Amino acid sequence: MTDSIDPSRAALIAYDVCRRALTPDDPVRRAAMRPVLDAWVRVIAAARQAGIPVIYTTPVSRADGADVVLLPTDLSVETGVPSLTNGIEGTPGAGFPDEIAPRTEDYVFLKRRPSAFYGTGVGELLRMLRRDVVIIGGGATNRGVETSVREAFSMDLSTVVVRECCWGGDQAAHQYSLDKAMKMYARVRHLDQVVAMLGS
């Protein structure tokens, strides 16, 4: 299996790289997320240098909750965390940090469910652009990113996951997703490797 990326066939999905996640109000959490934001700065710059489309998603729900369906899950019962935890559409937290703000040539999609593809139009865009290689990262690793990677595999998309661009609140689940689960469906690579693959 070749470990390269053909820029003419690739697109970068910046999955849920919103302010709420990457630049939270809590200073301790913000400091912890800074390396992830810095990784996104690098990979987005490399993608643009290679002429690869950059696709952003942000997880949102309406302020009145009309588009929220909270399904019962074991984890939501155990932790008290709802099964769907989007930001509010139109709020600053649903936007993107200045360091990685979308440009006019980029694509931005509102996302109401965990997958980057379900109900967003991202899959249709990739087909229109004739892109069948996806580079992705985001959070939570074991939830939305892994869901998207599995769906991409079912759509016959070759996927590269950027480790340093992923994050999650549950570190054990985060590591398992990167080291075990997603390796069944994608190539999981370090940031330096992905930048080199784009540059070659």
> Residue 68 falls within a domain, yes or no?
yes
Cα–Cα distance for residue pair 153/149, rounded to 1 Å: 6
**What is the pLDDT at residue 2?**
62
Written as one letter, the residue type at 7 is: P
> Residue 51 falls within a domain, yes or no?
yes
**What is the pLDDT at residue 87?**
84
Q: Is 200 a residue whose pLDDT tops 80?
A: no
Q: Is 1 a residue whose pLDDT tops 60?
A: no
| E strand or H helix that includes residue 57 | strand 54-61
In sequence order, what are the beta bridge partners of 133? 10, 158
List, for residues 20-29, the tens digit of each pLDDT value. Answer: 999 999 999 9
Of 95-99, 129-133, 142-146, 196-200, the poorest mean pLDDT is in: 196-200
Q: Is 38 a residue whose pLDDT tops 80?
A: yes
**What is the pLDDT at residue 31?**
97
**What is the pLDDT at residue 80?**
81
Tokens matching residue 123 = 């899959």
**What is the pLDDT at residue 139?**
93
Cα–Cα distance for residue pair 166/178, rounded to 1 Å: 9
List, for residues 62-102, the tens digit of each pLDDT value. Answer: 899 888 888 888 988 888 877 778 888 889 999 999 999 99
Q: How confident is the model at residue 186 (pLDDT cuts 50, 70, 90)?
A: very high
> Residue 76 falls within a domain, yes or no?
yes
Domain hosting 69: range is 7-199
Q: Cis omega (within 30 of 0) on the bond before 140?
A: yes
> Residue 1 falls within a domain, yes or no?
no
Domain holding 109: CATH number? 3.40.50.850
How many domains does one find in the chain? 1
Give me the mean pLDDT over the 173-187 stretch.
98
Mean pLDDT score of the chain: 94
> Residue 2 falls within a domain, yes or no?
no
Looking at the chain, the number of H-run helices and the number of E-run strands are 7, 7
